[in-house]
Copies of this chain bind each other. A is one copy, B any other.
Amino acid sequence: MPPQPPPRRGPRGANLGQLGTFNQAVVLHAIRTSPGVSRVEIGELTGLAGQTVTNICRRLLRDGLIVEGEPVAAGQGKPRTPLAIDAAARHAVGVHVDPALTTLVLLDLAGRTVSAETFPTPRAADAPATVREVGRRVVDFLHAAEVPRHRVLGVGVATPGPVDVARGIVDNPPHLPGWHQVPVREELELAVGLPVQLEKDVVAAATAEVWAGTFAAASSGALIYLGTGIGAGLVVDGEVLRGASNNAGELGQIVVDQGGEECRCGQRGCTRVVVSAEEMLRRAGTGAPPASLAELDVELRRLYDRADAGEEHALDVVRSSAVAVARAALLVTNLLDVERLVLGGPYWARMSPYFFAVAPAMFAAHAAAHDIHPVELLSTPVGEHLAAVGAASLVLDRAYSPRPGTLVIAPATR
């Protein structure tokens, strides 16, 4: 054979090293999502042998992650002992930093929100000082929640993208003016004294849906997030698609209304401009642009009040915005062959009835695979603090979700 080029990077082999960790995560997942299951049922759910399930449950009981209930008679067989997560065993903090508001939540191991707090995003001298101020609020928040520090796994932070997840830096988001290369992870770790994980808001929000089981039965799902911007969280086989640098989900540059305003990308009527609160108010002709984000929020609520009351011009604006959202959602659906599409985010609740008035017919007509399978459209079951709950879910997800990819031998670090 002639001389050959150097070997290329490729798939890694698998060995037994991670098998135990993986299967423990699988069993914990089964108990968390089906509270009250017995060991026998866990075996059926997971395909694991009875002895394996028994050993793993012993370990989970010893570590205090699960609890046993009273044995229940089960036909002629041995009584079955129901198992459940010990929700108070572990917690995670979620922080969502938005241009206008910052939200903190504390999740328990069952994924329930133990406490939550929302306040105007601090306006400090610069972005790092803002992050430190948020850190002080997190410390007070944890103190008030009275959860022992050793039961708090860490802090997840969600911000508008792009973010540099590997370095824990918020890069230069159009929706956070004045934020350039902000070392959010480092500042927060110093301020709070817990490990911090940074992700883009839509990636965090999609993780909330995965952790809450919203996409459990869907092999391909998407979340459309309506906040200061519009973005998508993509979920394939129960894992959030992060992309090459954890910045997947940008939807702002899709043309959805050809009569819309000009966008900085050179086109007219991108989602970025059409779905934005500013543009909706401009089209509604409510006078001078709002002076602050708080004022904008009030004006937008008034616009929806007028539309809800049937005022024609307000209805037009809100409806065309709903059509724009549906077009963006349809595009994501067709590109990823999505079977379950979830919508959420701070600006979703008021838009929801207008979206559901137009979207089903648009999906019936234009979803590419509609002959093969229906596309379910639903509002997020996670609620109003979606991105903050998502930020906390990042921490729980990293610690406890099973991932087949971890069964493969990690590359040597040289």
- Kindly state the separation between the CA atoms of A23 and B408 in the bound complex, as whole angstroms: 10
Contact A372 B48 (CB under 8 A): no
Contact A216 B408 (CB under 8 A): no
Q: From known contacts A162-B372, A335-B232, A335-B249, infer whether A48 and B15 are also in contact, taking CB-CB under 8 Å.
A: yes
Q: From known contacts A16-B16, A337-B243, A337-B247, infer whether A11 and B29 are also in contact, taking CB-CB under 8 Å.
A: yes
A398 at the interface (CB under 8 A from B): no
Q: Which of A235-251 contact B (CB under 8 A)?
A: 236-238, 241-251
For A339, the closest partner residue in chain B by CB is B244
Contact B244 A220 (CB under 8 A): yes
A78 at the interface (CB under 8 A from B): no
A178 at the interface (CB under 8 A from B): no
Most chain B CB atoms below 10 A, which of A14, A25, A248, A268: A14
Chain B: minimal CB distance from A69 (Å)? 4
Chain B hits for A368, CB < 8 A? 161-162, 247, 250, 252
Chain B: minimal CB distance from A313 (Å)? 22
Which one of B242, B335, B339, B409 contacts A251 once the chains associate, using CB atoms below 8 Å? B335
Contact B14 A407 (CB under 8 A): yes
A402 at the interface (CB under 8 A from B): yes
A121 at the interface (CB under 8 A from B): no
Contact A412 B216 (CB under 8 A): no
- Interface size of A by Cβ–Cβ distance < 8 Å? 104
- Kindly state the separation between the CA atoms of A369 and B331 in the bound complex, as whole angstroms: 21
Q: From known contacts A244-B373, A336-B243, infer whether A402 and B11 are also in contact, taking CB-CB under 8 Å.
A: yes
Contact B7 A45 (CB under 8 A): yes
Q: Which of A5-50 contact B (CB under 8 A)?
A: 5-16, 19, 22-23, 25-27, 29-30, 33-37, 41, 44-49
Chain B: minimal CB distance from A97 (Å)? 19
Q: From known contacts A14-B22, A26-B13, A34-B7, infer whether A248 and B336 are also in contact, taking CB-CB under 8 Å.
A: yes
Known: A244-B369, A254-B254, A255-B256; 12 extra A-B contacts, CB below 8 A, are A1-B35, A1-B82, A11-B402, A12-B47, A14-B22, A44-B412, A232-B335, A244-B339, A245-B337, A255-B258, A258-B258, A258-B269
Residues of A within 8 A of B (CB): 1-16, 19, 22-23, 25-27, 29-30, 33-37, 41, 44-49, 52, 69-70, 82, 84, 161-162, 164, 171-172, 213, 216-220, 232, 234, 236-238, 241-256, 258, 265, 267-269, 327, 330-332, 334-339, 365-366, 368-369, 371-373, 402, 404-405, 407-412
User: What are 19 A-B pairs with beta-carbon distances under 8 A?
Assistant: A1-B69, A5-B34, A7-B44, A9-B45, A9-B216, A11-B25, A11-B46, A11-B402, A14-B407, A15-B47, A46-B409, A162-B369, A220-B241, A242-B337, A244-B369, A247-B337, A248-B337, A258-B258, A404-B407
